[in-house]
Amino acid sequence: MLGGDKLSETAKAFIRQCTRRETITDREQVKKILQQHGIPAFNALLDVQETYGGLSYSFGGEIDNRFCIDLWGSFAHRDGEERRIPEVLNYEEQTLVECFHVMDDGLSKAGYIDENGKLYTLHYTTFQVYAENIEELLESESVKYSLLREKKQWIVKWIEQSDVAHWLSSIEEKPILIEQASQGYQKWWKSHDGRLYVHVRNGSGIYGVAYAMEVADLTQLGLSSYSILRGFPFDCSYQYDRECAEVKNTMEMFHFQSRLYKTCDYSRITVPQVKEAKDIYLYVTGQKTYERERPIEDFLMKFPGLVLPIEDFEQSLLEFALCNGDERILKLITYIASFANHHHHRSTSAENNVDHLLFHEYLRRIHVFIEAHPMNLHPLYFHPYRAAGVPAELDIDEKNTVVSRMRGNHAQTVSKLTLYYMTCAKEGNEIAAHIYRIYEPMLLLYALEGSIRVDHGLIEVGGSAFHPSSWQARAGKDPFDVYHRTAEAWKNRNVEYAIDQIKRVKWDKKIGNTVKRGFGMAKRNDETLKAAFTHLESRLGKDLSESPLASDHTERILANLSHDYPLLQTDEGAIAYLICQRYLGWAHLVDRKHPVATKSPCLYEPFIEILYEEEQIEKWERKTMNLIRLMEQEPIEKYAEVLRKEKG
Q: Does residue 106 sit in helix, strand or coil?
A: coil
Task: Please say whether the beta carbons of 23 and 70 come within 8 A.
Answer: yes
Please determine, for residue 45, whether its predicted confidence score (pLDDT) is greater than 90: yes
The whole domain housing 232 covers: 151-291
Same domain, 120 and 205: no
Same domain, 281 and 333: no
Average pLDDT, the chain: 84
Same domain, 113 and 161: no
Taking only the tens place, the pLDDT of each residue in 449-487 is 888 888 777 888 887 888 888 888 888 888 999 999 999
Please determine, for residue 251, whether its predicted confidence score (pLDDT) is greater than 80: no
Same domain, 91 and 232: no
Taking only the tens place, the pLDDT of each residue in 16-42 is 999 888 889 999 999 999 999 999 999
Same domain, 155 and 127: no
Angle at 367 between CA 362 and CA 368, to 5 degrees: 100
Same domain, 318 and 465: yes
Residue 32 located in a structural domain: yes
> pLDDT at position 267, please?
78
> pLDDT at position 631, please?
83
Helix, strand, coil shares of the chain, percent, nearest 5, are 50, 20, 35
Same domain, 442 and 530: no
Domain boundary among 105, 135, 165: 135
Query: How far, in Å, are 67, 230, 303 from residue 55 at the CA level?
Result: 8, 27, 54
* Rounded percentage of the chain residues whose pLDDT exceeds 70: 86
Residue 499 located in a structural domain: no
Return all residues near 276 (Cβ < 8 A) that are at least 6 apart.
214
Residue 500 located in a structural domain: no
Angle at 135 between CA 130 and CA 138, to 5 degrees: 75
Q: Please, which contacts does 241-245 make with residues 24 or more away whose CB atoms are closer than 8 Å?
A: 243/272, 243/273, 243/274, 243/275, 244/270, 244/271, 244/272, 244/273, 244/274, 245/270, 245/271, 245/274, 245/279, 245/280
**Which residue has better confidence, 77 or 536?**
536
Same domain, 519 and 476: no
Task: Please say whether the beta carbons of 561 and 579 come within 8 A.
Answer: no
Please determine, for residue 635, whether its predicted confidence score (pLDDT) is greater than 70: no
CA atoms of 211 and 50, how far apart (whole Å) = 33
Task: Please say whether the beta carbons of 17 and 23 come within 8 A.
Answer: no
CA atoms of 65 and 622, how far apart (whole Å) = 32
Residue 143 located in a structural domain: no
- Per-range mean pLDDT, top range of 123-127, 152-156, 405-409, 579-583: 579-583
Beta-ladder partners of 104: 107
> pLDDT at position 461, please?
87
Region of poorest pLDDT, from 60-69, 363-372, 381-390, 601-610: 60-69
Residue 140 located in a structural domain: no
Taking only the tens place, the pLDDT of each residue in 301-341 is 999 888 888 888 889 999 999 999 999 999 999 998 887 55
Residue 461 located in a structural domain: yes
Same domain, 313 and 427: yes
Please determine, for residue 609, whether its predicted confidence score (pLDDT) is greater than 80: yes
Sheet holding 186-190, edge to edge: 176-177, 186-190, 196-201, 207-212, 154-160, 229-232, 236-239, 244-248, 268-272, 291-292
Taking only the tens place, the pLDDT of each residue in 432-450 is 999 999 999 999 999 998 8
The 3-state secondary structure of 156-221, one letter per residue: EEEEEHHHHHHHHHHCCCCCEECHHHCCCCEEEEECCCCCEEEEEECCCCCEEEEEECCHHHHHHH
pLDDT band at 274 (very low <50, low <70, confident <90, very high): confident
> pLDDT at position 178, please?
94
Region of poorest pLDDT, from 144-158, 282-296, 415-429: 282-296
Backbone angles phi, psi at 232, to 5 degrees: -140, 135
Please determine, for residue 430, whether its predicted confidence score (pLDDT) is greater than 90: yes
pLDDT band at 578 (very low <50, low <70, confident <90, very high): very high
Average pLDDT over residues 622-631: 88
**Which residue has better confidence, 638 or 625?**
625
Of 148, 155, 193, 147, which is closest to residue 274 (Cα–Cα)? 155
pLDDT band at 401 (very low <50, low <70, confident <90, very high): confident
Backbone angles phi, psi at 120, to 5 degrees: -130, 155
Of 514, 476, 494, which is closest to residue 557 (Cα–Cα)? 494
Domain boundary among 80, 110, 135: 135
Taking only the tens place, the pLDDT of each residue in 185-227 is 889 999 999 999 999 987 666 788 999 999 889 988 887 777 7
Indicate the number of domains in the chain. Answer: 4
> pLDDT at position 641, please?
46
> pLDDT at position 480, please?
92
Same domain, 189 and 320: no
Same domain, 321 and 467: yes
Residue 498 located in a structural domain: no
Backbone angles phi, psi at 630, to 5 degrees: -60, -45
Q: pTM (2 decimals)? A: 0.75
Same domain, 90 and 178: no
CA atoms of 414 and 422, how far apart (whole Å) = 12
> pLDDT at position 52, please?
94
Residue 146 located in a structural domain: no
Average pLDDT over residues 144-157: 91
Domain boundary among 92, 109, 135: 135
Please determine, for residue 647, whether its predicted confidence score (pLDDT) is greater than 80: no
> pLDDT at position 346, please?
62
